[in-house]
Structure 1
């Protein structure tokens, strides 16, 4: 059954059926009830796309994330969908992976679904080459873009992010003030967020020690075993370090595994700080000190900003949220 069948059986125009579906007040109550009765008799359920055509809104938001198995991204998607439902919006989720071409294709797919806006979760979508971000900026000509944990300065792009630079600067400073001067910084990619964290680490070292050892900065696999093995390799090749700052909790847990294998005392011989304050931080032994980037607050703020945009209200183009260090047993400040 379709809208044409309803129109024919009810003896009204297709436009009248459409007005009834979309709640248009110009239809008389008598006609409305007749159309609704026919819809019920025929078992006709209005297509959300057809309804969207009448209302000029699909009440649907697109969400893109790189990898739903990532704890931070998975939590962000959960909170985003929860908040969107509270505001009467459905969502389409696309997990794009990390290849630029796939990101571009998925964005085109979501736009073809006539979404009302797009939420891009995570800084993996911001490429080092500005030209590679053109597809996001062009999409902003069609729908509002909410960029969560990243920053692009262009009209109709609204950014919500944590102050990763300051968080790592403060964490590094705490370790330096304890006399931990041989600090490793571990990260997994050159995403926008990772670069902010790296720059915070470098700034603290330059401010406190006036020197920087590039051999203490390493990109490593985003796995516990990969991090453990990298640290074993560095140690076997003579690199001395008494603290680790990890850009993600999974790397911090890998550092704990390394310390266990080496028989090191935590935090006396090796202090470790992770990032994201995820479930991983409390599932290891000892529990991991970690920077809490408040993913729930980030998500709620993103949706609140989006609702203001969709309601034609004034909204900030950039909102920055501060982080907190949650101390557990891998440090002793």
Structure 2
């Protein structure tokens, strides 16, 4: 059953069926209902791709995510899909991995599918070398590009992110003022977000009049167990009493380190994570974590995108402040406002 069969059975022209499919006002209600009735009887489903080309919209947004197994990124996908669906938009997801060539290949595939816009989930898509971001600028010349929790200047590129620098700085200051003498910062990589968080940690040390020791900032890109072992090795030469981690998974590695080293949490070691993911409540003791308000970021990103797709203006960059959810891995005095 195709559009020609529908027109014959409904006793109308092919052009009239096309107008009904495209919600044109130039069709009487009686004719519209007759055509729709035939479609229902025959179980007719219009070709979405062809209809999208006719209307110049596929009602679809392309999502690019480096790693869907990451709890933070997985949650972002879920929130974005829910909020896009509420606006009658579907999503097409590509899991790119972290290699530059694969990111470009996935983005080009989405462009070929004629999506209406792109959402890049996470700062790992933004390279520190300017030339490596050129493929994103080319994509933005064709459609809006929204970056969730990352930032890149460019025409038709929009960003929605949390102030990672301020969030980490505030948490580190609270750790120090709650009695921690030697905190360390544990992070994965020098992505835009990683660098901003590291900047916040250094800022906190400077504001509290403390030197930045060479081993006080630690990179560990591996598993929970690898983070644990990294801290066990570090503790032999640097007797730190607090760990501020760039994500909750690394923070759980710090909790495992404490148990292995027979340190009491939070008396001997305070631990703060980042993202306030479900991991923060699943571990024992429950983890104090910086909440970068992911659902709100996703909602803001989709609202921004809908404005753009409807021809309205939108800010190039939206920055929100984080909260800190205090649980059992920090001292009682950490709850105080400073």
TM-score range with shorter-chain normalisation? Answer: over 0.9
Unaligned runs of 5+ in 2: none
Q: TM-score, normalised by structure 1?
A: 0.94
Output aligned runs, 1:1-333, within 5 Å: 1-7=1-7, 13-29=13-29, 31-33=31-33, 35-40=35-40, 42-236=42-236, 238-332=237-331, 333=334
- CA deviation digits over 1:39-76, x for unaligned, max 9? 44554311111221222211111111111111111111
Q: State the 4+ residue runs in structure 1 displaced beyond 6 angstroms.
A: none
Describe the shift of the 1:265–1:36 C-alpha distance in structure 2 as closer, same or farther (beyond 3 A). Answer: closer
For the aligned residue pairs, the C-alpha RMSD in angstroms reads: 1.8
Per the TM alignment, residue 282 of structure 1 is displaced from its structure 2 partner at its CA by 1.2
Could you report, residue by residue, the CA deviation over 1:169-202 in whole angstroms, capped at 9, with x for unpaired residues? Answer: 1111112223423221111122111111001111
Question: Partners of 2:34 and 2:256 in 1: how far apart?
Answer: 70
SS at structure 2 position matched to 1:215? coil
Structure 1, unaligned stretches of length 5 or more? none
The secondary structure found in structure 1 opposite 2:119 is strand
Q: Say how many residue pairs are matched.
A: 332
> Is the CA contact (8 Å cut-off) linking 1:172 and 1:204 kept in structure 2?
yes
Contact 1:222–1:250 (Cα < 8 Å) also in 2: no
Mapped partners of 2:290, 2:37: distance in 1: 58
> In 1, Cα distance between the equivalents of 2:9 and 2:125?
51
Q: For 1:102 and 1:3, how far apart are their aligned partners in 2? A: 39
How many Å separate the matches in 1 of 2:200 and 2:135? 29
TM-score of the superposition, structure 2-length normalised? 0.92
* CA distance in 2 between partners of 1:324 and 1:30 (Å): 56
Contact in 2 for aligned 1:266/1:331 (Cα 8 Å): yes
Are 1:140 and 1:155, in contact at CA under 8 Å, matched by a contact in 2?
yes
Alpha-carbon shift at residue 221 of structure 1 (Å): 3.0
